[in-house]
Amino acid sequence: MSDAHSSPSVLFVCLGNICRSPAAEAVFNTHLATQGLTEQFTADSAGTIGHHAGHPADGRMRDAGAARGHTLTSVARQVVRDDFDRFNLVVAMDQSNLEDLLDAGANPDRTRLLGTFLPDYDDDIDTPQEVPDPYYGGDRGFEVVLNLLEAATPGVLAALQHDF
């Protein structure tokens, strides 16, 4: 692996990179800051499609995140093949995103669903929970997404600390 980062790194991926994955990046960065680990890890986000490339995160997600202390500053971009070498861990928000990533050449040993990082997840008996796309739903959908991201973030950090 030709890792461009000197620190363990994670790429969060959803469909368009305007709701779930930029929120995951922001939640992860907030968690790092509260742990005093900001300089030790790198996080980014991307989408499996480039339709929203160059746009900021959805305003509803920015507002929902801000209400919880998360600042979404990323600009949407599409995943590129180089990302699979640059990042130690690639985290997909749902099964469709995961399949798209694997079809594009992502390393299956370093590409996982976010739901596998939830505290009660047991890979021997559970099907990983997907992070639902809140784009076409109401405000409650953004809260559900943030709940899942906040619950899974410590597990993502632990994986980076122990596996990479």
Q: Give me the phi and psi of 81, to 5 degrees please.
A: -55, -35
Catalytic residue, candidates 19, 20, 94, 100: 20
Q: Does the annotation mark 14 as catalytic?
A: yes
Q: Does the annotation mark 63 as catalytic?
A: no
Catalytic residue, candidates 58, 83, 94, 133: 133
Q: Does the annotation mark 19 as catalytic?
A: no
Indicate which residues carry an active-site annotation: 14, 20, 133
